[in-house]
Structure 1
């Protein structure tokens, strides 16, 4: 469990630290705002591909060794940023780190489920907490470290925790159960479910997940540069992003504790979308005076929206295996869509020298998604299953699905 926690700490800093270091990066490289957005877009896009092709990734070396390879790739990519500090080098290392993150994020949950079974909820809680903590720390300390190490040294410093986590992982997982390897190649294609892609509900869930994830990626990439542009200290800009991520984590834990009391998810989904829209509206109208309330509102809204988007996808299918495949498609496509949000924001910033238009568009998009959420009724899940000709799952499979939802 310690190894999983240490690995998870390294899954956000590659993205989270960029926003806090935007000023020195833009001041010393010709990358521009569009290129800065690309440094967030690339890893998130690759995370999406990793979710869709998780079975193929698992078939290469197996879960245990693939996760170790992912950790080493993250460590190497971070270290290379000390020397490859030009625009091309930053994009190249962002791609490398994104591959490593995609591998670990795709395989760690299934590895944990295979080895912890009844305790999977506790392990995924530790794993999720590590992701949030890593992002919060990276955003909060990046500006302070840059004053001592330079922005190149700050980005490269994350190679140390990534390498250490990989070593601990290899030691801790020696006797663990791990699935995969070359013997899985034949079964990978057989387990594919192409008919899921042709269903309109799959696409609406994918877009819904993409908007919610895009809101968080937009905040992570551009809130620090936004406040730097308002002449706020770099340390305060990073602190505001840390507040958002901590509130998001606390809210997500609250969702996990109480979601089983609300089988119809439309009420909390609507509340979360209104809260996200209000947070972005506050950034447009009163970003300095109401900075902390804006961060709290965004953290609460995203903290509800992200886990519920996954839970709603799982709700649609009773069979655990097909539900897992379906959720991978929804998350993978959603991450790919979300990955373009920071890039588009960078383009807007280059054109308008401001992000107010982006906050406004994200607020409007969140309100529009309320109409989509209104269609996610429990009755619509039954119609979806009937359209796919899926029979009700056996009792044991339903119990397994309830554990997935938890």
Structure 2
């Protein structure tokens, strides 16, 4: 099976890789007005810059078991990092909306490959710490989004939007080199678990992950434009998204530190979903006066819900192969659901010149999450997914 990297090594790799999985999307919101002016993007096309990567993440995540069997976790993650680095680097020279949208799709494929294989890699190397390590991996993802969102507008003012979008290739290359040097030599397995199409619990997890991640993609794509349309400067709106994603990072770290105390995940899930609903209500009712409360509630809610959704899924896998197939299924379908939210919000904004109704639709979705979370009972170690 190859050498097994230490837990500390996997922690560093999970954070380094995770940091590179959202800048290709998170830097778009603060720069949307500039991109619309320079490239003539419509609101629908602006939504596509977030939706397409998420859609690719969904479609290609379903190939996770095949990738695990034929390519292997180590080589597969390296391939994904290479695609992300290439997609970011190309943006340095982009001069059309079609090329920018195409780079978003390529980056989404790279993200999908990594997200479908990292859970199996973590489960294989340190199965007893899988929940904590998955929490740190998702924390890295949110930290990368925070940095990209906060730095986008000021960087574009100094370097221009092309270089601002393009220099995300540098940390991706650093992560790729670190991964190749330290990840070990685990290759594809002789067998991989099939996608759990017939499992009702797997479909429940898919819908749960999809709606929860829809809140993440919606806020990522449209929070800065929403405050710009309310009169804020683009730089301030980008800082607001940066503050929100920093709050998400804090929430992710809290999940990593505390999740072992809650073998029944339903209580923390209910708490974070209520926080999400509270943040959306702030945006719907009084965004200019309650923006700090909105950021706090949305950041803590979304930041904890994302890793918790993956952790409750990982709980139901007994082996690395099963972890890979279940996470591929849940993320594949879930990201396809989540991909619809930014583009729907863009259509709403085109038709109604406001995003208030988009927040309302998401609040209804969060209410459904609260109901679904009551069905996510703990599964005993002896039970397989087929019986769950």
Q: TM-score range by the shorter chain?
A: 0.7 to 0.9
1:153 maps to what in 2? 163
Instruction: Tell me: CA distance 1:108–1:310, structure 2 relative to 1, closer, same or farther (3 Å).
Output: closer
List aligned pairs for 1:328-343, cutoff 5 A: 328-343=328-343
Match of 1:140 among 145, 150, 171: 150
2:66 to 44, 56, 63: 56
CA distance 1:386–1:90, change in 2 (3 Å): closer
**Alignment partner of 1:187: what SS?**
coil
Larger Rg: 1
Change (3 A) 1:59 1:322: closer
Cα offset for 1:117? 6.0
> Cα distance, 1:114 vs. partner?
4.2
Q: Does structure 1 conserve the Cα–Cα contact (< 8 Å) formed by 2:18 and 2:140?
A: yes
What corresponds to 1:257 in structure 2? 257
TM-score w.r.t. length of structure 2? 0.87
1:63/1:265 Cα in 2 relative to 1: closer, same or farther (>3 Å)? closer
Q: Does 1:178 align with 2:186?
A: yes
Q: 2:29 aligns with which of 15, 19, 26?
A: 19
Q: Do 1:48 and 1:336's aligned partners in 2 also have CA atoms closer than 8 Å?
A: yes
Q: Deviations over 1:261-300 (max 9, x none)?
A: 3343333322222221111111111112111110110111
For 1:72, what is the secondary structure of its paired residue?
helix
CA distance in 1, matches of 2:207, 2:129: 32
| Aligned with residue 101 of structure 1, among 74, 90, 111 | 111
CA apart distance, 1:129: 3.3
Kept after mapping to 2: 8 A contact 1:115/1:177 = no
1:116 Cα deviation from its structure 2 partner? 5.3
Distance 1:301 1:11 in 2: 20
Superposed CA RMSD in Å reads: 2.7
Structure 1 window deviating more from structure 2 (76-85 vs 59-68): it is: 59-68
Structure 1 partner of 2:41: 31
Give yes or no for contact 2:249–2:303 (8 Å, CA) kept in 1.
yes
Please list the CA deviations of residues 321-351 of structure 1 after superposition, one character each: whole Å capped at 9, or x if unmatched.
5455334322321122111111111111111
Pairs within 5 Å for 1:225-374: 225-316=225-316, 321-322=321-322, 324-374=324-374
How many Å separate the matches in 2 of 1:206 and 1:112?
A: 20
What are the superposed Cα offsets for residues 176-229 of structure 1, whole Å, 9 maximum, x if unpaired?
Answer: 23222xxx5x734xx314xx3233333222111111111011111110111111
Distance 1:257 1:339, change over 3 A: same
Question: Which residue in the other structure is 1:402 paired with?
Answer: none
Q: Distance in 2 between matches of 1:121 and 1:272?
A: 17
1-structure distance, mates of 2:122, 2:334: 23
Choose from 191, 194, 199 the match for 1:192: 194
Structure-2 change in CA distance of 1:167 and 1:352 (3 Å): same
Q: Which residue of 2 aligns with 1:393?
A: none
Q: Deviations over 1:39-68 (max 9, x none)?
A: 111111222234322122234443333322
Kept in 2, the 8 Å contact 1:3–1:165? The answer is yes
Alpha-carbon distance in structure 2 between the residues aligned to 1:316 and 1:125: 16
Q: In the comparison of the two structures, how many residue pairs are matched?
A: 377
What SS does the aligned partner of 2:92 have?
Answer: coil
Specify the alignment match of 1:162 in structure 2: 172
Runs (5+) with no aligned partner, structure 2: 1-8
Distance 2:128 2:27 in 1: 35
Query: What is the DSSP-based 3-state SS (H/G/I as helix, E as strand, rest coil) of the residue aligned with 1:82?
Result: coil
Does the CA contact (< 8 Å) of 2:65 and 2:324 recur in 1?
Answer: no
Please give the alpha-carbon distance, in whole angstroms, between the structure 1 residues aligned to 2:214 and 2:181: 36
| Residues 55 and 320 of structure 1, relative CA distance in 2, 3 Å threshold | closer
Moved more, 317-326 or 354-363: 317-326
Partner of 2:85: 75
2:369 and 2:363 map into 1 onto residues whose CA distance is 10
Residue 386 of structure 1 and its aligned partner are, at CA, apart by 9.3
User: CA contact under 8 A between 1:314 and 1:324: conserved in structure 2?
Assistant: no
The 2-side partners of 1:322 and 1:60 are apart by: 16
**Residues 1:9 and 1:199: Cα distance change in structure 2 (over 3 Å):** closer
Task: Looking at secondary structure, tell me which structure has more helix per residue.
Answer: 1
Whole-Å Cα distance in 2 between the matches of residues 126 and 18 of structure 1? Answer: 24
Contact 1:13 / 1:134 at 8 angstroms: preserved in 2? Answer: yes
DSSP 3-state at the match of 1:197:
coil
